[in-house]
Structure 1
Amino acid sequence: MSLLDKLEWRYATKKFDSTKKIPADQLNQVLEAIRLAPSSYGLQQFRLLVVSDHAIREKLAAAAWNQPQLLEASHVLVFAAETKLDTAFVDANIELTAKVRNIGTETLAGWKNMIGDGIKLRSNGDVLVHWAQKQAYIGLGIAISVAAELGLDSCPMEGFDPEEFDQILGLKEKNLTATVILPVGYRSEDDGYIQLAKVRRPADEFFIAY
């Protein structure tokens, strides 16, 4: 099947088969794809939490109006945006870039200043956090696509209390905030949504050509 066929096959799974677990090699492919996702300036303004512990997932489910996907899926991925995008955060990225590319940090001074200017432009109110959250959604899209390519089901979800998630997972102390979640696993055969036709706008109504 082509990627387009896989995207046609996938749907936001409402009921997972709790007896099936994703093999470690396939889970790692999804995680690595998220790590490789593009982000503004390549800063990776979000982190990924991989939750398999049942006791923690019970608490998270309670903070997500007891939606069953959080308990039935093989794993729950929590995309958490960085809340402290400051000089230290940028410096760490510059040092990593210099190390990976085997160059001196001084050669990246112009790039560092450009990033700094970009952060200053977004420094009012919650703009920086919203910017980081947008990067998390890029990772989410990558995750959904790669999961489908591997024949894995998923369900992107915003229906949860971010503050409660932050408390349960200790995210505030890590300068993070829960942004969006993605339970992944295998659909249950009695999920009533399996046979429903995918509803999308027709191409001639969706695309706008200039």
Structure 2
Amino acid sequence: MPSTPDELLQALNFRYATKVFDPSKKIDDDTWSKIETSLILAPSSFGLQPWKFFVIKSDEVREKLKAASWGQSQVTDASHLVVLAARTDLAQEDIDSWVTRLSEVQGTPIENLAGLSGVISSFSGGMDSATKQAWNTRQLYIVLGQLMTSAAFMEIDTCPLEGISAADYDEILGLKESGYATGVACALGYRSADDKYALAPKARFPQENVVVYI
């Protein structure tokens, strides 16, 4: 049954950037499966999904990532840590792979998708390598927003982590020369009773300051 508008607002008000996680509380496997599905279902431009999601289970790796995250305790104390990595390029083979997948899933003859493939190729062809990677990386923030909102619906706490050394993350995770590069990370779990920010009122500008009707 779809959630009500009030339930949506309740979830959004529940969410905050959790500073202190309770390391004794873990997300159960069934709930985590739903969260992973929310990652997979995230939208992307042209549907290309230029990303991979690394779920870091190893305590040893998480300790190394903590050192590359200015010592932020969320990296090791949260139940789960996800690193969102973007494609470093957007090659024709990436486009072909997506169009083939689209054909298979929707049962559309691949020749019928030639027009779509041409549009994407033309768009991609207008960008240099650095611009392609930057465009792919921006797509990660669509996923991040969906991940945090989905978690909030299940009363799972999150903390987006951009205060990290992406280059060090890439080194630790073995992403060098993989075709992917770290963009942002997100810790997920349950807030600690000691997190003073949990009860702090949300500070947002009034609606009239940020919403414009034209």
Please give the TM-score of this superposition, normalised by the length of structure 1.
0.96
- 1:142 pairs, out of 143, 146, 169, with 146
Determine the structure 1 residue equivalent to 2:99.
94
Aligned residues: 209
1:149-185 CA-partner distances (Å, limit 9, x unpaired) = 0000000110000000001111123211110110000
* 1:206 corresponding residue in structure 2: 210
Amino acid at match of 1:139: V
Q: Write the mapping of 1:25-104 to structure 2, written as runs, cut at 5 A.
A: 25-104=30-109
- Asked whether the 8 Å contact 2:89–2:129 carries over to 1, the reply is no
In 2: Cα distance, 1:84 partner to 1:170 partner:
17
Q: Is the 8 A contact 1:12 1:154 kept in 2?
A: yes
Question: Segments of 4+ in structure 1 off by > 2 A?
Answer: none
* Bigger Cα displacement from structure 2, 178-187 vs 167-176: 167-176
Partner amino acid for 1:138? Answer: I
The counterpart of 2:130, out of the listed 126, 132, 144, is 126
Which residue of structure 1 lines up, in the alignment, with residue 157 of structure 2?
A: 153
TM-score by length of 2: 0.95
Say which SS state the counterpart of residue 96 (structure 2) adopts. helix
1:125 positional shift = 4.6
Q: Is the 8 A contact 1:48 1:79 kept in 2?
A: yes
- What residue ranges of structure 2 are gaps of 5+ in the alignment? 1-5
Distance 1:91 1:125 in 2: 18
Hey, what's the Cα distance between the residues in 2 that align with 1:95 and 1:171?
26
Give, in whole Å, the separation in 2 of the partners of 1:205 and 1:108: 44
Q: CA RMSD in A?
A: 1.1
Task: Determine if contact 1:52/1:74 at 8 Å carries over to the other structure.
Answer: no
Cα shift readout 1:10-65 (whole Å, capped 9, x = no counterpart): 11000000001101111111111111111000000111111121001001001111
Instruction: Determine the C-alpha separation between the residues in 1 that align with 2:166 and 2:57.
Output: 19
- 2:195 is paired with a residue whose SS is coil
Structure 1 CA distance for aligned equivalents of residues 36 and 134 of structure 2:
23
Correspondence for 1:116 among 114, 121, 141: 121
Q: Are the aligned partners of 1:133 and 1:179 in contact in 2 as well (CA < 8 Å)?
A: yes
Q: Secondary structure at the match of 1:173?
A: coil
CA distance in 1, matches of 2:176, 2:114: 31
Corresponding residue SS for 1:156: strand
Structure 1: gaps of 5 or more residues: none
